[in-house]
Every structure is written in C-alpha cells, then in structure tokens.
Amino acid sequence: MNANHAHRKTNGSILPCLLTALALTGTLLVGCSSKQSEKQEGQITVGFSQIGAESGWRTANTQSIKSEAEKRGVDLRFSDAQGKQENQIRAIRTFIQQKVDVIAFSPVVETGWQPVLEEAKRAGIPVFLTDRAVDVTDDSLYVSFIGSDFIEEGRRAGEWLAKKMDGKAKIAELQGTTGSAPAIDRKKGFEAFIADYPEMTIIKSQSGDFTRAKGKEVFEAFLRSPEGSEINALYAHNDDMALGAIQAIEEAGKKPGTDIVIVSIDGVHDAFQAILDGKLNCTVECNPLIGPQVFDAVEKYLAGEELPKRIQIEEGVFDENIVTQEVLDKRQY
Amino acid sequence: METKTFRSRAATKIVWPVLALALLILVNVLLDARSFNSFTDAFREGAFLHISFKNGYPSGALIDILNHGSKVMILALGMSLVIATGGVDLSVGAVMAISGATAAVLTVRGLPPTVVIPIALLISMVCGLWNGILVGMLKIQPIVATLILMVAGRGVAQMITGAQIITFHSPVMEFIGNGRLAWLPLPFPFILVLIMLFITWVSTRKTAIGLLVESVGSNPTASRFAGVRATSVIMMAYIFSGFCAGIAGLIAASNIKAADPTHAGLLLEMDAIFAVVVGGTALTGGRFFLGGAIIGGILIQTLTTTMYAQDVSADVAPLPKAIVVLIVCLIQSETFRNKLSKTWRRKQS
C-alpha cells in the first residue's frame, strides 16, 4: 500500500513539470532563435520555416538566408521543422499570430498546405516559397516561388548523360524521398529528356530517401538483381545517394565512374571531391545560396512591385572536365 | 519443472516468426521462379537465394539481409531487456546518431579507434543512464521519458557534427560496418550481433539478472517486497539499451564511412520494437526472448530487401510491408489461431 501511495504521489508532482517541459520544448522548436528584440520603425519582420538541417546543402541554404537577413537588417524569425510537416504548419501559425510582415518557407512535402496558407491569406500576410513548391488549387495563396527548377535539373542530368553515353545506356535510378517535390520533378525532367533516346532506358528505379545509407543499400540490391550486370549508368536524385552507391559499386568489385557512369544533382562538397577522385562523373548544381534573391523579392513586393510566380535561381553543371582542385576550394558548401 | 514449461513456451513462441520468415523467403523464391519461368533456377545469379563468392567471401541477398539487419538486431537485444522491465526505449535511433557523430568527429580529429570506440560507447551508455534515471528513479512513464532523448538526441548529434555529414577515413572504423574476417566470412556487423547475443544471453540467463528483469517487469510491487532493487535493475536495462544503440550507431556510421546525424538510425526504434514484439516478447513486460528478437530483426530486413529485389515501387512498398506485418501479428495471436482452427474443424465435421 505504502509503496503504491508513494508511487502515485511522485507521478502527481512529476506530470505537471513534464507537461511544462514539453510545452517549453514546443515553443523552443517553433520560436527558436527568434530574438524578441525591440522592433524598429520600418524594419521588416520575416518568419522563415526551414525543413531541417538534413545535409550540407541545407546548412548552406540556412546560412545564406540568415546572413543575408542580418546584412539587410531584417528581423528574421527562424524556425527549424526537423523534417516534419506538422512542425512547419505550427511554425507558420505562430508567425501568423506574431503578425510578421512576410512568411517564407521550404515545404517538406508538396501536399497538405491549403488550410494553413488560407489562414495566412486571411491574415493578409504574403507567403513566399523557397526551394520547393507546394501543390495547391489556388495559386493566389502564395506570392512567388523562388528556387531551383527541379524539372530543369533532371533534364540537364539527362542531357549530360545522353551526351556522355552517346544516347545508349541501361540506367539505374535512385529516387529521392517518395512524394517530395525534388524527387517527383527530377524524375519527370530526366524521363522527359531521355524519352527521345530509345536506347536509353531506366531498368531499375527505387527510392533511396536522399541518404547515403539507403543509397548504398538499394544500389547493392540493384547490383544483385538479374539485370544488375547490365547497369552501366546511374542517375541519383542527389549527391549523397550517389556517394552511397559508389561504395556499393566498389564493394561489388566494379569501378564507379568507369564501369558505371554516375550523374547526380546538388553539387555538395563531397560530390566535387568524388569527381576529383574519378568516382563520380557529373553533378548538376542546385544552388542553395538563395538568400540575396529571396530578400530582393521580399523588398520588391513590399515596395508594391509585381512579381513573377516563378523566380529561377542561377546554377551550373559540373563534370569531370571542369572540376579541379581550384573549383573545389572555391565552393562555399 | 517450472523452467521446463517456460522453456518450451519460449520454443513455441519462436516457431511463428521463423515460420513467417520461411514464408517470406518462399514468396521470393516463387516470384523468382515466375520471372525465370522455372524452379530449378532458384539459386542462379540474380535470384534471391543466389550466393556467390567474391574474393572468397560469400555475397548475395541473404548475406545483405544479415548485414543490413544487424543494426536492428542489436537494438532489439537492448530493447528486449527494456521491454521486459515493462518499459520501452524510443531514444535508440537518436543515440545511434550521437554515437556515430561522436566517433566520426573524434576520428577526423586524428584520435585512434582504441580511444574513439570506448568514448562513443561510453557516451551512449550515459544516454542510457539518463533514460534510466528518468524511468527508474523519477518514475516517469518510459514512453515520455525516452521521447525526450529521442527528440533532443538528434539535436545533440547535429550539434556534435555542426549539422554536417562528417566523412572519415580509418581502416579500423571502416571495418566495423564493412569488414569480413578470414576465418568467419560473414559480414562483421552480423558477427557483432552473434557476440552481443551470446553476451546478453549468458549475462541474463546464466545469472539471476534475467530473472530480476522479468520479476520487475511482471510485478514491481511483489519483487520489491522480495528484496529486488527495481531502480537499479531498470537503470541497468536502459544503460544496456544505450550501449546496444552505441554499437548500432558505430555500424551505421562505418557502413557509409560517414556520420549522418539527421538520418542515422531514423525510425529504427520502431523497427527494433517490432522485432522484439514479433519475436514473442509482449509489450506488457515480464518476459523476454532474445532469440525471437534476432529472428524479428532478420524478418523486418528480409521484408525491406524483398521490396528491392522484387522491384516494388517505392510509392506502394509500405502496403505489402503492412500486409506482411499484419499476417505475422495474426499468426502470432493465439485468439486468432483458435478461431481459425475452430472454423476449420466445423467445416470438416
């Protein structure tokens, strides 16, 4: 009896503490690093919800936005969604309550944004999308989408591969996270381009979740499959999966970059290193340094200018002929 | 007598996951036979059962399963003890990330593996201790207590690496996840599983620890009156789970020769819990079957590998996976089996 009683008592006192702690964690997650500084007259407040710190690319993207905001004296309320849509929706709702001037975010997935964007519209807060698009029926829900064109990236990867392989290839494809905008569009763009080359076929395609570990595991399975020995090209939706696949290819006793030609997208530091090492053939850049272009657009909009629905980011294609140690040293991410 | 009936019950419990595993492999063989148009080709190159020898080491889909499944199997060992105490450890995935991140950062700094590995494992055990204190001493509900580290741990891992993927080069560190021993040519991660299984089995079943863990899980009040110090037993279970997660984290990082703090071990806590439950350990606590947990781990990896081998598109892969999980749960359920055999008998008569 005694023990039971004591037990209940501890529980009783712990639970409220715990709830408070949880609530605190919640506010921390949402309102992170948004310094509640005194708002100066005329200063723009921007609420930005980032997907999360998933890769070097994303870190560079975050850095670019943060440093540009600081440079321009913008009050940036930055929130990290840790890869979860519900966190982003919560962050956007918090921004609406805080009555920020502009909301910007990189959506984790394409769907499910209609309700929260309608709330923002009702509150009269303009929304900018960065880097990834959303799937909504009413495109007046956001002002402009600033970011890379994933379809174009896929198309460029296809174009480079067709040239390199003389239009003949048995391709294995490592897709990104199922349902994410880059995975859908990079696939679409690539497929649309190689459709004109009857001798370029995708013989294997699976999701590698944009990670090295899955990229390696899935490509290992590809190489084991009956068609495995025919694969002579790999198209990976991001560099990390390609880097994982390179390890699988090496462990299977083949030479990545020679036996299997590899093209991927993003242009992260390790990918440039792999190109220098002759293991990766080409990476199509997906430029994360979008801060200047985002805040240009925000300032123009607040000054009353009309903006296009789509603002393209400048980016390049890097293959083994271009990449040298010098190019690598100059990369910011 | 008591132990004997208990043992035999353990034996019947393990029958079902083994049966499900055999069924899954059979499905693969049948699908292979369909694509090759013959049964005799079940072992030919490209088939699920095919095993080739590369540089003298066996390799094939079955070997891949043992290799990639090893992380979940090791997690499941620690999880078994925690679940047996009536708890659950949701933080193992995050602890994996912390362990891998620590190891990668220290390796890049130039420290030798003899220093790096103990430090990474020690930090993992401290994570386990943290859970143990919350659950054992402060009596916080295990789901909530370990959820804290599940959320915060990934942040800690990202802090350690500066939210970057840290690539490292070190023969010893790379061996943990990719190596093969000359005299036992199975993937080294799986050998680690066997070693961990042996250690766990000896230290729980050949000493009183296993009994204490189960007594705390089945009736905490009675075991307290019997003089069992529940707090230290519970804390030990969580520390051990942290240790297992630390090893799994080293394997995960070593596998890709890099620490990926965002993705390492992501959602693996769910796989580990699934492996333990499928292996015949009830979530209500009080009992654990280590062998079952290992079979459960193999089962879940076989499922994943099957999706790759049979070209199931990534969009629909969760569905067949869910169906297999459902079937396994159904054949595990005694109530369902009884109902089924009743209808069967009625039809016959």
List Cβ neighbours of A159 (8 Å cut-off, separation of 6 or more).
A193
Confidence tier at A277 by pLDDT (50, 70, 90): very high
pLDDT at residue number A33: 42
Out of A25, A224, A270, closest to residue B46 by CB? A224
Nearest to B24 by CA among B295, B346, B348: B295
Confidence tier at A2 by pLDDT (50, 70, 90): very low
CB A212 to CB B314 under 8 A? no
How big, in percent rounded to 5, are the helix, strand and coil portions of chain A? 45, 20, 35
Confidence tier at B131 by pLDDT (50, 70, 90): very high
Nearest to B243 by CA among B212, B203, B206, B205: B203
pLDDT > 90 fraction of chain B, expressed in percent and rounded: 61
Looking at the complex, report in whole angstroms how far the Cα of residue A58 sits from the nearest Cα belonging to chain B: 9
Give the DSSP per-residue string, B10-28.
Answer: HHHHHHHHHHHHHHHHHHH
A20 vs B: CB within 8 A = no
CB A59 to CB B163 under 8 A? yes
Q: Cα separation of B282 and A241, whole Å?
A: 37
CB A83 to CB B262 under 8 A? yes
Tell me the three state secondary structure of residue B317: coil
Nearest to A105 by CA among A176, A167, A47: A47
| Lowest mean per-residue pLDDT among A297-306, B104-113, B277-286 | B277-286
ipTM: 0.88
Average pLDDT over residues B320-345: 84
Nearest to A178 by CA among A210, A137, A153, A134: A210
pLDDT in tens, B151-176: 999 999 999 998 788 999 999 999 99
Q: In this structure, what are the phi and psi dihedrals at residue A144, rounded to the nearest 5 degrees?
A: -160, 150
pLDDT at residue number A323: 85
Confidence tier at B7 by pLDDT (50, 70, 90): low
Over 50: is that where the pLDDT of A183 sits?
A: yes
Taking CA–CA distances from A9, the nearest residue in chain B reads B139
Q: In this structure, what are the phi and psi dihedrals at residue A9, rounded to the nearest 5 degrees?
A: -65, -45
Q: Cα separation of B145 and B91, whole Å?
A: 9
Element (H, E) at A122: helix A114-122
Average pLDDT over residues B202-222: 93
Nearest to B103 by CA among B254, B217, B222, B205: B254
Over 50: is that where the pLDDT of A193 sits?
A: yes
Average pLDDT over residues A89-94: 94
Confidence tier at B146 by pLDDT (50, 70, 90): very high
Report the DSSP beta bridge partners of residue B180: B187
Out of B46, B258, B314, closest to residue A206 by CB? B314
CB A82 to CB B154 under 8 A? yes
Over 60: is that where the pLDDT of A21 sits?
A: no
Over 70: is that where the pLDDT of A192 sits?
A: yes
Q: Cα separation of A281 and B338, whole Å?
A: 60
Q: Cα separation of A102 and A85, whole Å?
A: 19
Element (H, E) at A263: strand A261-266
pLDDT in tens, A202-259: 999 999 999 999 999 999 999 988 888 999 999 999 999 999 999 999 999 999 999 9
Question: How far, in whole angstroms, is CA A17 from its chain's centroid?
Answer: 37
How big, in percent rounded to 5, are the helix, strand and coil portions of chain B? 75, 5, 25
Report the DSSP beta bridge partners of residue A129: A105, A145
Tell me the three state secondary structure of residue B163: coil
Euclidean distance between the first and the last CA atom of chain B, given in angstroms as a whole number: 38
Q: In this structure, what are the phi and psi dihedrals at residue A140, rounded to the nearest 5 degrees?
A: -80, 0
Confidence tier at B11 by pLDDT (50, 70, 90): low
Average pLDDT over residues B211-227: 91
Q: Could you tell me the two tokens for A222?
A: 């590809």
pLDDT at residue number A3: 40
Tell me the three state secondary structure of residue B185: coil
Nearest to A206 by CA among A217, A192, A193: A217
pLDDT at residue number A20: 53
Chain A from 231 to 290: CB within 8 A of any B CB: 240, 243-244, 247, 251-253, 270
pLDDT in tens, A46-65: 999 998 876 677 888 898 99
Strands ordered across the beta sheet of A75-80:
A75-80, A45-50, A102-105, A127-130, A144-147, A310-312
Domain range list for chain B: 70-311
pLDDT at residue number A28: 45
CA of B247: how far to CAs of A272, B71, B158, B160, B337, in Å?
Answer: 31, 8, 19, 18, 38
Over 90: is that where the pLDDT of B314 sits?
A: no
pLDDT at residue number A10: 41
**What domains can be seen in chain A, in order of their start residue?**
40-148+288-302 (3.40.50.2300), 150-286+318-330 (3.40.50.2300)
Average predicted confidence (pLDDT) for chain B: 90
To the nearest 10 degrees (0 to 180), the angle between helices B318-332 and B334-348 is 80
Out of B35, B163, B178, closest to residue A251 by CB? B178
Q: Cα separation of B281 and B297, whole Å?
A: 13
Over 60: is that where the pLDDT of A26 sits?
A: no
DSSP one-letter code for B135: I
CA of B165: how far to CAs of A58, B54, B108, B212, B258, in Å?
Answer: 11, 30, 12, 42, 7
CB-based contact A141:A127 (threshold 8 Å): yes
Over 90: is that where the pLDDT of B147 sits?
A: yes
A205 vs B: CB within 8 A = yes
CA of B301: how far to CAs of A62, A168, B245, B308, B330, in Å?
Answer: 35, 35, 17, 11, 19
